Amino acid sequence: MSITRQDVEKIAALANLALTEEEIQTFTVQLSSIVSYVEKMNELDTTDVEPMSHSTLSGDTSYTRREDDPKPSLGADLALSNAPDSGDGHFKVPKVIG
Amino acid sequence: MELVGLTVDKFHSALKSGETTVEAVCKATFDRIEKLNPDLNVYLTVTKDSALERARQLDQQLAAGAELSPLFGVPTAIKDNICTKDVRTTCASKILDTFKPPYSATVVERLEAAGAVVVGKANCDEFAMGSSNENSAYGSVRNPWNLEHVPGGSSGGSAAAVAADLCIVALGSDTGGSVREPASFCGVTGLKPTYGRVSRYGLVAFGSSLDQVGPISKNAADSARVLGVIAGRDWHDSTSSEISVPDYLAALTGDIKGLKLGVPKEAFVEGLHPEVKARIQESIKNFESLGAEIVEVSLPHSEYAIADYYIIATAEASSNLARYDGVKYGFRDADAKTLQEMYKKTRDHGFGSEVKRRIMLGTYVLSSGYYDAYYLKAQKIRTILEQDFRKAFEACDLIVMPTAPVPPFKLGEKTDDPLAMYLADIYTVTINLVGVPGISIPSGFTSDGLPIGCQLIAPHFEEARLLQAADAYERSYPSNRYPNI
């Protein structure tokens, strides 16, 4: 299955990427080639196979849980320390509603 | 003190005998970095002042009679996708050009508590996405064995730093081979631990079900030492295991008589470079001469691993990288007038092309109408791949195969064809999908003098067995060659 220019534009919008015209053209070709390669997976019958999301889940699962006791966290000042724009303990962003 | 080939063991002996000091070795390391980094482009940030201050403190402790902790005074490189408190951490991306983490990763805290001295942050592929280190926003790392060749990726800076003696040990991260492949290309030892063995807290996320931090070093003993320090449960990472951490150094007995070494018949197929094939076959013979029993095993679904990996890894990446939107940290496109425009322009200008390609692929396979055909299918094949390994390990203790299908290639050779680049990961990605540990050890050179790596793979949490075999091999068949730089 090949990827069309419209597919690339739709995916870019979903991924919040403002691609240039050149990027749209390149990605249309490259993603088509990658997607036709991964179609190889269809050769395998997986009808009765359980999906695996995480390798630890196939073995001992006890260590993925812990007591729900609160511990100290970073705090607002440190959390904001790398923000491009902030003030009054908040992140600042451009206008949300036009 | 001679830095070339310097391991922790040798360094600690010299410290004990008074032949050198931590400060002297750190200073010599920084002199060497100043001389060689312009050519190799290994370090993105060098932490000279803090390192030398810490070195002097450690020397004082030693003079006052302190015991040598496992990594006492060891000059250490940290891949730049691992957070270091107040030290710039870019992930080799423009989008994090100015990011200074307010905390250190658990692995960094543990290294420092064990005495390590962080000398700098190592270059890598942007967000650890790549197999050649050519995807760094700060330029490619060069292979110390030949500057026209790639060092491998994504932890290319960490591996090249170890190979060029610009540190004694380094940390890398491995999502689909990113510790093992550059270790192979740079002629050093690189270990990807079992998923869950090492905390991921403070490792910038790429593929969360695949990522592991691992050591890169000049021999298996140093990797054992580093793993012993960084492994173990961390309440910050719920996937870190409570299984107790064995004494990895004590496991290095040098004796592997009777070890059953499985050779997958699918590993020696077309596409494998003849010189890689010859070296690996030689290594297998060497293991046999050390008393290992060679058995044939089968990993029948190996041919689906690359497709499976590039679905799962990109799906997870597209989700993890959604957080870079110009709000919380890093770069923001200043021209945008609205929030939505700011997100889109920040991400398009901040990310490099490989990162965007993977975000696009990952978004596509997770999107409505395609999820079942790609992502769910890939998760099911992941189960089949795990069954292959479980079955193979019923017949053997370790599996041996090449780390990469080719020797280090030339800069620019594969950059126009992403799929050709992905195929360089054919022997490494399955290990991450299945979650088992793997190590790459030096296995000789091509006729052009470029390193080749041999990969050993163990069942879950059997790193001690893996390191024991790697160490026994390196003791009997040491490389004894150093890059001419």
Ordered mean pLDDT values, 10 residues apiece, chain A (98 residues): 92 96 96 94 95 68 70 91 94 86
pLDDT greater than 50 at residue B443: yes
Here the CATH number for the domain that contains residue B196 is: 3.90.1300.10
Distance (Å) from the alpha carbon of A12 to chain B's nearest alpha carbon: 7
Residue at B331 is within a domain: no
Task: Using CA coordinates, name the residue in chain B closest to A19.
Answer: B348
CB contact under 8 A, A46 and B377: yes
pLDDT tens digit sequence for B54-105: 999 999 999 999 999 999 999 999 999 999 999 999 999 999 999 999 999 9
Instruction: Choose, from B132, B178, B240, B318, the residue flagged as catalytic.
Output: B178
Going from the C-alpha of B115 to that of each of A20, B32, B40, B213, the distances in angstroms are 48, 22, 27, 19
- CA–CA dist B156, B153 (Å, integer): 5
Q: Smallest Cα–Cα separation from B192: which of B164, B231, B135, B165?
A: B231
Contacts of B311 in chain A (CB under 8 A): 38, 41
Strand partners, B171: B78, B215
Contacts of B102 in chain A (CB under 8 A): 74, 78-79, 81-82
Residue B460 confidence class, pLDDT cut points 50, 70, 90 = very high
Domain that holds residue B102: 8-266+272-299+388-476
- Strand, coil or helix: B17: coil
- CA–CA dist B120, B47 (Å, integer): 5
Domains in chain A and their CATH numbers? Answer: 1-44 (1.10.20.60)
CB contact under 8 A, B327 and A91: yes
pLDDT tens digit sequence for B377-400: 999 999 999 999 999 999 999 999
Residue at B91 is within a domain: yes
Provide the domain count of chain B.
Answer: 1
Residue in B99, B326, B360 nearest the CB of A15 = B360
Of the residues B86, B380, B426, the best mutation for testing chain A's interface (the one with the most A CB atoms within 10 Å of its CB) is B380
Residue at B333 is within a domain: no
- Strand, coil or helix: B143: strand
B402's enclosing H/E stretch is: strand B398-402
Residue at B407 is within a domain: yes
At residue B68, the pLDDT reads 97
* Lookup: tokens for A11: 């995916």
- B397, B403, B406, B411 alpha-carbon torsion, rounded to 10°: 180
At residue A58, the pLDDT reads 45
* Active site annotation includes B218: no
DSSP symbol at B372: I
- CA–CA dist B420, B362 (Å, integer): 18
At residue B50, the pLDDT reads 98
Query: For residue B441, which amino acid is it?
Result: I
Q: For the beta carbon of residue A32, count every other beta carbon within 10 angstroms.
A: 16
Residue at B96 is within a domain: yes
Mean pLDDT of chain B: 97
DSSP symbol at B374: I
Task: Using CA coordinates, name the residue in chain A closest to B350.
Answer: A17
Q: Is A7 on the interface with B (CB under 8 A)?
A: yes
- Strand, coil or helix: B191: strand
pLDDT tens digit sequence for B276-299: 999 999 999 999 999 999 999 999
Strand partners, B117: B75
- Average pLDDT, stretch B193-216? 97
Q: Are strands B212-217 and B189-192 parallel, antiparallel or unpaired?
A: antiparallel
Residues in chain A: 98
Contacts of B242 in chain A (CB under 8 A): 62-63
pLDDT tens digit sequence for B323-372: 999 999 999 998 999 999 999 999 999 999 999 999 999 999 999 899 99
Residue at B317 is within a domain: no
Q: For the beta carbon of residue B240, count every other beta carbon within 10 angstroms.
A: 23
- Strand, coil or helix: B261: strand
Task: Using CA coordinates, name the residue in chain B closest to A95.
Answer: B338
Task: Using CA coordinates, name the residue in chain A closest to B233.
Answer: A63
- CA–CA dist B156, B139 (Å, integer): 12
